[in-house]
Chain A
Amino acid sequence: MLYREVGELKASYAADQAIFPIRQDRWLMLAALAAAYLVVPVAGSEYWLLTIMIPFLVFALAALGLNLLTGYAGQVSLGTGGFMAVGAFATYKLTTALPGLNIVLALLLAGTITALVGVLFGFPSLRIKGFYLAVATLAAQFFLIWMFNKFPWFYNYSASGVISAPPRAVFGRFYVTGAEADPRAKYLFVLTVVILLALAAKGLVRGRVGRAWMAIRDMDVAAEIIGIRPLRTKLLAFALSSFYCGIAGAMWAFIHTSAVEASAFEIDRSFEILFMIIIGGLGSILGSFLGAAFIVLLPIFLDNAPRLAALEIPVNLVTNLQSMIFGALIIFFLIVEPNGLARLWAIGKEKLRLWPFPH
C-alpha cells in the first residue's frame, strides 16, 4: 500500500499534466536530485566521479539527443558520433580563438553550430525514411569524421595531431576543464547541464513539438492532414537532437577525456548510443538515462565479475564475451520488452500500485 494515487484527484488540467502526477514519484525524484547534488560529490571517490558518473551523464545527454530524433520523431540516425564530434571540435575552435569566452557560452554556441550541421544533414529526411535514412546518416558520420581527421585547421595545425582541451572555469574560480579541474567541480557542472537540458527536453516532448514529432513518427502521411509541415518538424528534430549531441560531445572531449580527437566519435560510438536508447526505451526521457546507465555499467560489471567470482579470464576473452553478452542482451530486450527498461520501470510501478493486491 505504499504507492498509491487514491485520494490524489486532479482538480485541474495542469495538475493532470504534471511530470510526476503521483506524489511518491515527486518525492523519489527530489530524493534522487538531493543525492546527486549533496551525497555523491561528498561520498563518491574520484574513480566513481570520473569513470562512472561523468561518462554516464554525458552519455545520457547524447542518448537524450538521439532519443528526441529517433525515439520521438522516428528518424533513424546513425550519425550521432559525427554530431558529437562537431560539438567537440566547435568548442575547441571557439575556446582557442576566443580565450575569454565563458565555457557555458562556448558550449551553447557549439551546440548551435552542431544544430545547424544537423539541419543540413537532415534535409534528406523529407524524401527518405527508415533504413534508407539510417544509411544517409552514415554518410554524415563517415564524412564528418574523415573531415576532422583530414583538415589540420580543425586541430589548429598542431604538429602531433593530439590536442588537449584548454582549461576553463565557471564562476571564475572552479575549473571544469584542464589539468587543474577538481573532479567534484567537473561532476557538478556536468550534472547541472544535463539536468537543465533534460528538463527542457521534457518540456518539448510534453507539448506541441513532441506531439508533432510523434505524429510524424507514427504516420507521417496522416500528420500532414492535421496541418503538420513534415520538413519543418523533421528539421527541428534534427536541429535539437544535434544540439544535445553536440554539447554531449563537447563535454566528453573537454571534461571527460580532456582531449579532442575524432577517433572518440567513430561509428562505434553511434551504435553505442543507439543501443542505449533501444535498451533504455525509445521515446522516453527516463529511458535515455536508464540505457546510458546500463551501457556504462555493463563493461565495468563484466570486468569485475570474474574477479568477484574468483575466475581468471584473460583480457581479450573478456572483450569478446562482452560483445556476445551485449548482442544477446539486445536481442533479449527486444523480445521481452521492445519498449526498453523505461517500460519495465513503468510496469514495475503499475505492479507497485496494485501491491499487495494481484490485480
Chain B
Amino acid sequence: MDLLATAFVTPFANMWDNPQFVLEVVIGGLLSGVMYSLVALGFVLIYKASGVFNFAQGTMVLFAALTFVGAIERGLPIWGAFIIAVAVMVLLAVAIERLMLRPLVNQEQIILFMGTIGLAFFLDGFGQLVWGSDVHPLDIGIPKAPLIIGGVLVNEFDLVAAVVAGSLVVALALLFQHTAVGRALRAVADDHQAAQSVGIPLRSIWIIVWSIAGVVGLVAGIMWGSNLGVQFSLSLVALKALPVLILGGFTSVPGAIVGGLIVGVGEKLAEVFWGPAFGGAIEDWFAYALALVFLLFRPQGLFGERIIERV
C-alpha cells in the first residue's frame, strides 16, 4: 500500500502542488533534452545514409570536442580551432570509410554495428592518448546567466543550445530535401544497390555523411563541453542517445529532436519527483525503461518507418 502510494500518488500530488516548479523542471529537461538530440542527430544521419548504427557517435563527439579544446589551448582563436576540428573530423570520416566501411560493405548490419563498437574503443584510446584524460574546461563565450522569463527561471546557455540545435535541424532538413547531395543521400539510405546503379558514388556519399555527422558531433561536443567540461564521460552520453533514437525513430531527423526532448523531460521529472522515494539516481536507467515501454507499443518510434517483413 505504502509503495503504491509512493509510486503513483505522492509524485503527482507534489507536482500538483508546485506547478511553477514543475514548469522549471520541464524546461530544464527540455533543454538538456536538446543536448541529447544533438548527439542523436549524428546517429540518424549515419543510419539514414549508410544503414550503419554508429555506436561510436558519442566517442566522435568527445573526439571532436577534444580536438577543438586542444586547439584552443594551444592558442588558436575560436574560429581557427573550429576549422581545424572540422578538418580532423573530415579526415576521420575518410579514414573510417577506407578502413572500415569499404571492407565491410556487404556484411550484415550487426557486423557493422560491432565494427562501430570497435571504432568507439579505438577513438577512445586514441583521443586520450593524444589529448590526455583530464577534464578540459571549455569557454567560448556562451552566456550563462540565469534569466527570468514569464516568472520561470531559465538559463541563457540552454536557450543558446536550443537555438543552435534548431538551426542545425533546419539546415539539415534543407540539405536533405532541397539539394542534389541531399537527394543522393536519401537514395543511398533507401537502397545501396539501386543508388549505385544510377551512378551515385557510394564511397563519396559515405564520406560526406560521416563528415556531416562528425561536424554535428563537434557542435554537440562544444555545447556539452561548455556546460560540463570536455571529459571522458561525454562518450557515455552516446548510450543515452539510444533511447532517444528509439523514441524518435532511427531514420527521422525530427524524431531525434522530439525523442531527445521527451527523454530529457522524462528523466528530469522522474528524478525530481520519483527519485527521492527510491534513493535517487533513477536517471541511470529511466530513459532505457521508457524506451523499452515505447518499443513494446510502437517499435518504429514516433516518426520512424515501419519495417514490413515480406516472405
Contact = CB atoms under 8 A, between A and B. Distances in A.
Contact of B114 (A143, A151, A334): A334
A135 B110 contact: no
B281 interface: yes
A331 B121 CA distance: 10
Contact residues of A: prevailing secondary structure:
helix
B113 interface: yes
Interface string A272-289: 001100100000000000
A324 B311 CA distance: 42
B111 A150 contact: no
B296 interface: yes
Interface string B269-289: 000000000110110110011
Interface in B199-250: 239, 242-243, 246, 250
A126 B305 CA distance: 19
Contact of A76 (B110, B285, B292, B295): B110
A330 B111 CA distance: 10
Interface in B95-119: 99-100, 103-104, 107, 109-111, 113-115, 117-119
A142 B123 CA distance: 24
B119 to A, nearest CB: 6
Contact residues of B: prevailing secondary structure:
helix
A322 interface: yes
Contacts of B129: 317, 320-321, 324
Contact of B109 (A130, A267, A330): A130
A322 to B, nearest CB: 7
B243 A327 contact: no
A134 B282 CA distance: 20
Interface string A247-263: 00000000000000000
Contact of A143 (B117, B120, B126, B285): B285
Given A135-B246, A327-B119, A320 B296 contact: no
Contacts of A170: none
A205 B299 CA distance: 30
Interface string A18-59: 000000000000000000000000000000000000000000
A135 B284 contact: no
B125 interface: yes
A142 B291 contact: no
Contacts of B285: 139, 142-143, 146
A327 B111 contact: no
B177 interface: no
Interface in A129-143: 130-132, 135-136, 138-139, 142-143
Contacts of A143: 285, 288-289
B118 A138 contact: no
A320 B113 CA distance: 22
Interface string A94-108: 000000000000000
Contact of A135 (B118, B128, B291): B291
A335 interface: yes
A327 B295 contact: no
Interface in A316-359: 316-317, 319-331, 334-335, 338
Given A124-B296, A150-B281, A324-B129, A331 B288 contact: no
B133 interface: yes
Given A330-B117, A338-B111, A132 B122 contact: no
B121 A128 contact: no
A135 B243 contact: yes
Given A142-B284, A150-B278, A327-B123, 8 more contacts: A139-B288, A142-B288, A143-B289, A145-B284, A278-B114, A324-B125, A329-B118, A330-B117
10 contacts: A131-B113, A138-B288, A150-B281, A222-B311, A274-B117, A320-B124, A323-B121, A326-B125, A327-B119, A330-B121
Interface of B: 53, 99-100, 103-104, 107, 109-111, 113-115, 117-126, 128-129, 133, 239, 242-243, 246, 250, 278-279, 281-282, 284-285, 288-289, 291-292, 295-296, 299, 309, 311
